[in-house]
Amino acid sequence: MRTVYVNGDYVPEDQAKISVFDRGFLFADAVYEVTGVLEGKLVDFPAHAARLARSLSELDMPMPMPEADLLAIHRELVTRNGLEEGMIYLQITRGAADRDFVFPKGAEQGVVLFTQSVPGLADAPAARRGIRIVTLPDRRWGRRDIKTVQLLYPSMGKTAAKAQGADDAWMVEDGHVTEGTSNNAYIVKDRTIITRHLGEEILHGITRAAVLRMAEEAQLKVEERPFTVAEAQAADEAFVTSASAFVMPVVEIDGTRIGSGTPGPIATRLREIYLEESRANAI
């Protein structure tokens, strides 16, 4: 059984409790982060902490504790659960208060963290095969740059993708791909990597920032702009990135094979570089 962190205490997972009045539960009034763990160490923690601070501030919530204390809790959970490979989930809610649409004043913020062990995450068979994508309309709210826990639509999307025999979905708005259900989306054409520009339409992925930096260091061209599904289907390669999937090749979009139908060389190489650098720099 796992040990989880809830509002100041480390407790066995079956004893962890939050209030039924918690606004995370009632209003999805909460933000989260998912940090990858490799060899028992945290990947890109400072960047996750910085994005967390931004998400909170966009919703008029303070950081509940200094970054160093958050880091200490992450590390304590890794140790207590003997976590080698997987991720840590962190959620911060506005707290428990009488149900009212107006933000309450003075509620004590909720802080919950737990580990998720995924043995073999770095050496995932899916990364050798590539994943299949279907597209669907992006019906999420307009501030996707804030990492809130409103994940019902992405959850419906991934479930629908699985029901169609695919692995995941990419969402489309005004004819252009925004991102995946829980990852950023990329295509590669003539050795140029194309991915949507940052804005309120997508989450500013921590893995995205790292991978684009690594791509430029590897002398690959990067274009940050919207692309259509047709352009993606005609691309040489496609892939997604996230803290839990790293760089994952995409080999099919809406039934159309991408390139050779196997993971492309650039996606494969970026995955290797990303894993290598993450292992070297994890804390």
List the catalytic residues: 147
No. of H helices and E strands in the chain?
A: 8, 15
Residue of 179, 201, 237, 252 that binds ligand PDD (CB under 6 A): 179
Which residues in the 34-93 window bind ligand PDD by CB under 6 A? 34
The residue among 96 and 210 lying less far from ligand PDD, judged by its C-beta, is 210
The residue among 121 and 235 lying less far from ligand PDD, judged by its C-beta, is 121
The residue among 88 and 107 lying less far from ligand PDD, judged by its C-beta, is 88
Closest contact distance (angstroms) between CB of 65 and ligand PDD is: 21
Closest contact distance (angstroms) between CB of 34 and ligand PDD is: 4
Alpha-carbon span 220 to 234, nearest angstrom: 19
Closest contact distance (angstroms) between CB of 99 and ligand PDD is: 26
The residue among 132 and 144 lying less far from ligand PDD, judged by its C-beta, is 144
Task: Verify binding: residue 168, ligand PDD, rule CB under 6 A.
Answer: no
Cα torsion at 161, 113, 115, 180 (round to 10°)? 20
The residue among 3 and 242 lying less far from ligand PDD, judged by its C-beta, is 242
Helix (H) or strand (E) holding 199: none
Which residues in the 235-254 window bind ligand PDD by CB under 6 A? 241-244
Helices (H), the chain: 23-27, 45-58, 67-80, 125-129, 152-163, 206-217, 229-233, 265-281
Task: Verify binding: residue 212, ligand PDD, rule CB under 6 A.
Answer: no
Three-class DSSP category at 228: coil
Task: Verify binding: residue 203, ligand PDD, rule CB under 6 A.
Answer: yes
The residue among 7 and 242 lying less far from ligand PDD, judged by its C-beta, is 242
The 8-class DSSP code of residue 108 comes to: P
Closest contact distance (angstroms) between CB of 87 and ligand PDD is: 7
Alpha-carbon span 4 to 14, nearest angstrom: 9
- Residue 51: closest CA among 38, 70, 37: 70
For the residues of 9-49, what is the DSSP string, one character each? EEEEGGG----TTBHHHHH--EEEEEEEEETTEESSHHHHH
Closest contact distance (angstroms) between CB of 90 and ligand PDD is: 11
Tokens of 8: 């100041």
Residue of 81, 115, 148, 183 that binds ligand PDD (CB under 6 A): 183
Alpha-carbon span 176 to 52, nearest angstrom: 27
Footprint on this chain of ligand PDD (rule: CB under 6 A): 34, 179, 182-184, 203, 205-208, 241-244
